[in-house]
Homo-oligomer: A and B are copies of this chain.
Amino acid sequence: MFSEEHKKMGITFPQGFQAAGVKAGIKKSGNLDLALIYTEKEAAVAGTFTKNQVAAAPVYVSKEVVKGGKAHAICANAGCANACTGEQGLADARAMAKEAADAVGCAANEVIVASTGVIGVQLPMDKVKKGVKAAAAELSENGSVNAGNAIITTDTYSKACATEVEIGGKKVRFGAIAKGSGMIQPDMATMLCFITTDAAIDQPLLQAALSEVVEVTFNMISIDGDMSTNDMAIVLANGAAGNATITKKDKDYEIFRDTLKELCTGLSQRIAADGEGATKFLTIHVTGAKTFESAKQVGMSVAKSPLVKTAFFGEDPNWGRVICAVGYSGVPMEPEKTVVKFGGIAVYDKGVGAKFDETALRKVMAEHDVVIDVELGLGNAEATVWSCDFSYEYVKINGEYHT
């Protein structure tokens, strides 16, 4: 997606955006843990949030900001989720927004706040406040890499993207940083993702585009089936590109939405591939379903099966576990119409195991990227789900991740 250089620029690739990431001392490791993203020009803001009923304090605060429709900044920390922290947690999330607002010079209700890390621990506000000040002082057009690194937890690397398209005769840029490795399950944003664009677009259309895109990108990932308390995807559009403001679902809107989708698809795939302890990136492509929803349900059933995930870790072409997960997904299916393929090689063919070239299949299983096709033969709808395997490392990371 564009050049490596632009990817590195991430969220500061679009005009008018600055970012910073600093060490506030919230993470025990002492790594970067507080990110600030800023646009002097007011941005339209849209967001999607966790549907977990136990939502973190910053989720409540940021939902209000999105309701207001405009923002100047995003302030996010890693190392502490500020979830299950009661009234104090809510006050702290608001104080974090206020601190960032004061530091960059905007209103507190124009600052998105986000947190990720351990649940049930209060934010160390002294550290947060110092961190916010330090980040504000470091804001620059080269700050995306640090900001990206400041929001990761068990991720092995920070996910960033950037791209440029033409909308209404103007070059419009998009950038994004995302994190997410464990506690990843569909049904909303399922991680932290901050997207910037210098496109001019009305806020309701920005929200419409984001909501539509999230459904087929971030909501199609499953790493462990655990839906986080803190997920959010936020997009800021500051209009600095000078395109005629997108005000209806026309051609320009479509370009905007498709670019957003391309960006989010890339990030989703990278989040799945970087799942905790993952050694394989699995793409589960379900076709021949009656509806998108049922195709997704079948794909998720396969993606979430611990038996499927451990089989791929073991590079064992155990298709029985895949068809088993298809059979219990809750979606009506007919074994006699169903075909399952690994890397394009049919392994299950309408009720029985297929005859396949074992050497070729072994080669498919040894690859890092494996595509699992499930052809239901019932209709024309399809869905693609991204997942990863289950390794010893997953157990290690999560058996030892300290509370």
Contact = CB atoms under 8 A, between A and B. Distances in A.
Given A53-B328, A307-B183, A320 B395 contact: no
Given A51-B328, A318-B401, A352 B226 contact: no
A86 B352 contact: yes
A321 interface: yes
Interface string A116-142: 001111000000000000000000000
A249 to B, nearest CB: 32
A83 interface: yes
B403 A323 contact: no
Nearest to A335: B54
Interface stretch (A62-70, A202-210, A308-316): A308-316
B348 A120 contact: yes
Contacts of A306: 224-226, 306, 390, 394, 398
B83 A320 contact: yes
A228 B324 contact: yes
Contacts of A88: 352
B391 A395 contact: yes
A310 B394 contact: yes
A248 interface: no
Contacts of A251: none
Contacts of A391: 395, 399
Given A119-B324, A335-B84, A182 B54 contact: no
A344 interface: no
A327 interface: yes
Contact of A307 (B120, B182, B335): B182
Contacts of A183: 307, 321, 324
Contact of A395 (B121, B323, B333, B390): B390
A392 B228 CA distance: 24
A52 interface: yes
B326 A54 contact: yes
Interface of A: 51-55, 81, 83-86, 88-89, 118-121, 182-183, 185, 187, 224-229, 304-307, 310-311, 313-314, 316-321, 323-328, 332-335, 348, 351-353, 390-392, 394-403
10 contacts: A54-B326, A54-B333, A84-B320, A86-B351, A88-B352, A185-B328, A187-B328, A310-B397, A313-B395, A314-B399
Given A54-B335, A316-B402, 11 more contacts: A53-B334, A55-B327, A88-B352, A120-B353, A224-B307, A229-B320, A306-B390, A310-B394, A310-B397, A311-B401, A395-B395
